[in-house]
A and B are shown apart, each in its own frame.
Chain A
Amino acid sequence: MNPSGGFFEYLLGLLKEFFAWLPHVTLAHFLIVSAILFALGIYGIATRRNAILVLMGVELVLNSANINLIAFSRYGGGGLDGQVAAVFVIILAAAEAAIALAIVLNIYHRFQTVNVDDVSTMKE
């Protein structure tokens, strides 16, 4: 038995285990969904040029954090502390969206654009 064949058999075993695990929802299902959502939000923040779309990426990241908090609150046994933390995250997301939108409107009145890489100056 050569080592590469052994490695592929190992990988195949892992895949089989994964697909046998997939149909029955556990904590890790929710966490993986939130991880993918987080990655998509980070991608949006990093690549979008429009400031409004950057804000949408921020909202995706906050939502993924909320899924994590609530999933651990459900599966951790007992208290509702995770849900209360998620309430505070939602409150701060609302405040952040309002402030950020005011800033974006000011930037638009000043520069006539909301592309974040065109607004690279601190001068008048």
Chain B
Amino acid sequence: MQLYDALFFLFALITLVSAFIVVFSRSIVYAAFSLLFTFFGVAGLYVLLQADFLAVTQVLIYVGGILVLLLFGVMLTNRVVNVELKTGTIHTVPALILVAIVAGTFAGLFYSTWKGAAAPQTDVKSTIMPIGELLMTGYLLPFEVASVILLIALIGAATMARRTRSHPEKATR
């Protein structure tokens, strides 16, 4: 299991270092691109946890969808002509103290509770078919509700993001 441990530390390092850059970088574009590496690192952790379908879904949806959406947001809401895509921060010191307390508490709890939990030996097989069966049997109602939510989000986002809305005061202009 030596290779497993080394791969875990590699992916954990990628995830945490790039998450640090996301949170602490002054440049929005750097933050967005290091979010890419965070998502890839998390996908690697999913593979180590034998969640192959989730890993592929993570790469497809987060990297292919959400990250591109966020990059579009960065480009549409900043004047790209001035190259200075910087951003400010507020309340850093209280937030740092609070977050350090929260992270320390969680990590201590997890460590003291589950430090002896070794992985149960299971034969490695694809999870796609069992997840599909679960979605069609035990989780059918949440699955359908999620599809309706996605449709509502699609229509709502398209409606809200249209520029040609008539404001009352603009109509009188």
Which A residues are within 8 Å of any B CB, using their own CB? 18, 21, 23-33, 35-44, 46-53, 55-57, 59-60, 63, 66-67, 70-71, 73-75, 77, 80-81, 83-84, 86-88, 90-99, 101-106, 108-109, 114-115, 117, 124
Chain B residues, CB < 8 A from A26: 114-119
- Tell me the smallest distance from the CB of B119 to a CB of chain A, in Å: 6
Contact between B16 and A37 (Cβ–Cβ < 8 Å)? yes
Which B residues are within 8 Å of any A CB, using their own CB? 1, 4-5, 8, 12, 15-16, 19-20, 22-23, 28, 31-32, 35, 38-39, 42, 45-46, 48-51, 53-54, 57-58, 61-62, 65-66, 69-70, 72-74, 76-77, 87-92, 95-96, 98-100, 102-103, 106-107, 110-111, 113-120, 127, 130-131, 134-135, 139, 142, 146, 149-150, 152-154, 156-158, 160-161, 163, 169
Contact between B54 and A70 (Cβ–Cβ < 8 Å)? yes
Contact between A56 and B31 (Cβ–Cβ < 8 Å)? yes
Q: Are A108 and B62 also in contact (CB < 8 A) when A43-B23, A56-B22 are? A: no
